[in-house]
Amino acid sequence: MHDTHTSHGHSPVSDSDSVENPEGFAFITLRAGGTLVAIEAAKGTRPFIAYCGPDLPGSAAEELALLSTRQHAPGGAAQHLRGSLMNELGTGSSAPSGFVGHRSGKMWATDLRVASSARDGECSLILTCEDAHAGVRTVHKFELDEVTGVLTTGTRVENLQTSPLSLEWCASLTLPFDDRFERILGFSGRWSSEFQIEPIDKFSGSYVRENKAGRTSHDCFPGLFAGAAHTSENSGFAAGFHLAWSGNSKLRVDRLPDGRAILQMGEMLFPAEIDLAQGEAYTTPDMVACWSKDGFSGVSQKLHRYLEGNVFDKRIEARPRKVHYNTWEAVYFDHSEARLLDLAEKAAEVGAERFVLDDGWFGGRRNDQTGLGDWWVSPDVYPDGLHTLVNRVRELGMEFGIWFEPEMVNPDSDLFRKHPDWVLHADGVEPIESRHQLTLDLTRQEVFDYLYEKIDAVVSEYGVDYIKWDMNRDTQYPGSNGRGAMHRQTHAVYALIAKLRAAHPQLEIESCSSGGARADYGVLRHTDRIWTSDNNDARHRHQIMRGASHFFPLSVLGNHIGPRHCHITHRIFSMEFRAASAIFGHMGMELDLAEETPEDRAVLARAIALHKTYRDLIHGGDFYRLEAADYLNAVGCVAQDKSEALFSCAQLDLQPTTLPARLRFVGLDSAKRYRVKLVWPDRDKSVSSPSIIDAADLLESGTRFTGTALMEHGMQFPLVMPDTCLIYHLQAEG
Ligand code: GLA
């Protein structure tokens, strides 16, 4: 059975190291990392997930299935239908089906029953179901991460008959959605306002998000959190779910009339996008699920560790995340070697470790209307190539990074003039330009090869250390050869990046898409950093980072210091505030350093030095979002042994009372004593004095407090003006 629709992808379902379960697999208990999944899966029956969530020590699938016994309700179906892994139409379930397929409109009533199972210890299971009549086999993967208990699931669909099987929808899996979850946190947004949290209280019917942007999207992030009525950031029952995929997607939570709720996530398919011939297979993207009894931050901590242990490239993980200088907001398309050399000097002076040359260096790219696709150094701007700039960047001790937007082409480009047929399109429809560009069809081998060759040539000639890989439009007509192609296109993008990384093993890659529109666990299998947002407004950035931190650790979330006069919101912020706001993240800057005063450059240099001092803690500690008043944004990183912590608390607006509230730290060892100091800013910003800053000598030798007092009683927040960010360092002593 071969997965023809994943031309460059790998199947997440692998039977190779599994062993047949000798017990006959009627009840399967998977248990690892604090998570329990209990499945009833007797051969010939519909598989039923009796439980998934935090471990119930000592409990087995058999008793959980028994405890789940329900009955048929008068006035309804003659039997109670428990639901199955796919709730397919042939089961008679009233719940939305996780599998919709047919053969030219017939044979749509699939009813998948357990055929076999194979498991590898307590962590991993492959469950195979079949409907011989419909000629469909589904192979379901369950993998529990031993460290975090995060569950990864995915499904492969195989066509067992001669006629084509058309797939309309196949969820990665249908999961029971715990009935204690009264709230959903959805993630919405737009360009320059990504990862906006949208809380939704208990509802009837469906919460559905469909994304057909052809990328992960700004507005429809494929993930959600769930919480019980009293779940808070750091206590209570919570869960997080995410589809590891950078193409079209659909997620839904359905509250059924019978009181249950279910969750499905999967790829949103275009009509006839997946038509399987006999022997062909389709594999869904993975869905990731995580539960915690320690609130929403508890879920995030596990998801972050899961990424570190299972998804991120270990080579990159082992190195410190370098501080960036990015040229975009300093020069836009107005490149000149002399100016860039000056910026490189100034960037190195303030502590940058990597210089990233953004858009504008190639072909005829003097504005956003021309040149995409012509991936050679622009002879008009750089008659001698980039060597002078690259060499100077290296002499200054920085790495060299460069921007590409490989999947895109401007109609005004040599590439398009030569190959107008190389774009994704729908027959009979004139494609609509977006940012003056069209999407190349990477499912065509010649397009894939062209891009590889061009990018590889630049990387090889200049020894490029880093690529900012951009993708700046939605793709409305993702067609190739008359068929929907976004599934194959997404795998082709992954394959292109993978091929480059294999050829250049030290190359780091950032996933950017008009800011944060391609941020997901699928692309993070191939890339090392996310450009979180184009919005460098320091006040707004706190909110964007807070939202993104639900799924992503600070080590991969690009966070840059922008110009004094923010280009997106036109607000003006001090360097002290801008710089502090970028310390918690993968720090960088993106401003014209020549425009900044020498005093502000000195402040910037101190902030970068502070970031480097605490970089291991920021990128390696446990991340917490604090519960704080609306006008504050407070987050912290606590060393895994709780010996040290760094908290950032930004006052973003006026408080409604004359004085602000107390800040309650979290994650500390209640029995330890911590010396608390303010490490940013390095002067007293309190509006009146004396304040807690004087009383506890926070700017000098600090004061020791018990972890309990700091967490339960809390520390008074000083009266400061809005747009002030204080950073506290806590060191355990004695
Ligand atoms: C996108 C990115 C920006 C910048 C521009 C260049 O908008 O998000 O950071 O690279 O493209 O055109």
For residue 515, the ligand 1 atom closest to its alpha carbon is 8
Write the burial class of residue 468 (CB in 10 Å: 0-12 exposed, 13-18 middle, 19+ buried): buried
Ligand 1 binding pocket includes 138 (Cβ within 6 Å)? no
User: Between vectors from CA 151 to CA 94 and to CA 215, what angle results, nearest 5°?
Assistant: 75
Residue 557 C-alpha to ligand 1 middle, in angstroms? 16
Ligand 1 binding pocket includes 405 (Cβ within 6 Å)? no
Mean of pLDDT values over 567-591: 98
CA atoms within 13 A on the CB side of 413: 29
- In the block, tokens 């425009």 appear at 595
Q: Tokens at residue 342, please?
A: 């000056």
pLDDT tens digits, one per residue of 21-56: 444 558 999 999 999 999 999 999 999 999 999 999
Best mutation site among 324, 365, 534 for ligand 1 pocket (most ligand atoms within 8 Å of CB): 534
Q: 10 Å Cβ neighbour count for 619?
A: 21
Q: Active-site positions?
A: 470, 534
Ligand 1 binding pocket includes 470 (Cβ within 6 Å)? yes
Q: Could you tell me which residues come within 8 angstroms of residue 489 by beta carbon, excluding any fewer than 6 positions away?
A: 214, 247, 407, 424, 439, 441, 442, 443, 475, 478, 480
Q: 10 Å Cβ neighbour count for 103?
A: 18
CA atoms of 255 and 179, how far apart (whole Å) = 9
CA atoms within 13 A on the CB side of 22: 1
Mean model confidence pLDDT for the chain:
95
- pLDDT reported for residue 3: 58
Ligand 1 binding pocket includes 512 (Cβ within 6 Å)? yes
Helical packing angle, 337-350 and 598-620, nearest 10° = 60
CA separation, residue 415 to residues 168, 374, 437, 452, 527 (Å):
35, 6, 12, 14, 26
Ligand 1 binding pocket includes 515 (Cβ within 6 Å)? yes
- pLDDT reported for residue 16: 31
pLDDT tens digits, one per residue of 469-487: 999 999 999 999 999 999 9
| Residue 7 pLDDT grade (very low, low, confident, very high; cuts 50, 70, 90) | very low
Best mutation site among 362, 514, 541 for ligand 1 pocket (most ligand atoms within 8 Å of CB): 514
Mean of pLDDT values over 685-713: 97
- pLDDT reported for residue 74: 87
Terminal Cα-to-Cα distance of the chain (whole angstroms): 62
What is the percent of the chain where pLDDT is above 90? 92
Nearest to 191 by CA among 543, 497, 514, 460: 514
Ligand 1 binding pocket includes 403 (Cβ within 6 Å)? yes
DSSP calls for 98-159: SEEEEBTTB------EEEEEEEETTTEEEEEEEETTTTEEEEEEEEE-TTT--EEEEEEEEE
Mean of pLDDT values over 436-444: 98
CA separation, residue 98 to residues 84, 133, 166, 184 (Å):
9, 19, 14, 20
Reported pTM: 0.96
Residue 280 C-alpha to ligand 1 middle, in angstroms? 39
**Is residue 12 pLDDT above 70, yes or no?**
no
- Residue owning the nearest CA to atom 2 of ligand 1: 514
When mean pLDDT is compared across 5-19, 55-69, 554-568, the lowest value belongs to 5-19
Nearest to 490 by CA among 66, 3, 9: 9
Ligand 1 binding pocket includes 328 (Cβ within 6 Å)? yes
